[in-house]
Amino acid sequence: MYNNVSNEEFLLFFGALHPFSNWNQEHSFTVKDRTFDCGEQLMMAWKAAFFKDWVTFEKIMKPNHPSKYKDLGRDVTPFDEAAWDKERDPMMFTICLARARQIPAVDAMLIASEGRELVEASQFDTIWGVGLAEYDERILDRRNWRGANRLGIAWMRVREFRKKERRP
Could you give all domains of the chain from N- to C-terminal order, each with its CATH number? 5-34+83-166 (1.10.357.40)
Summarised one tens digit per residue, pLDDT across range 50-98 is: 999 999 999 999 999 999 999 999 999 999 999 999 999 999 999 999 9
- What pLDDT is attached to residue 28? 97
Q: How confident is the model at residue 4 (pLDDT cuts 50, 70, 90)?
A: low
pLDDT of residue 138: 93
Per residue in 152-166, pLDDT (tens digit) is: 999 999 999 999 998
- In this prediction, residue 6 has a pLDDT band, given cuts at 50, 70 and 90, of low
Q: Which of 5, 16, 2, 4 is nearest to 140 (CA)?
A: 5
When pLDDT is averaged across residues 23-35 and rounded to a whole number, the result is 97
Alpha helices in the chain (DSSP H): 39-50, 54-60, 66-74, 81-102, 104-112, 150-166
Based on C-alpha coordinates, what's the Rg of the chain? 16
Alpha-carbon distances of 124 from 14, 88, 101, rounded to whole Å = 11, 18, 28
- 5 band by pLDDT with thresholds 50, 70 and 90: low
Return the ∠ at Cα 79 (arms to 75 and 83), rounded to 5°. Answer: 140
Helix (H) or strand (E) holding 43: helix 39-50
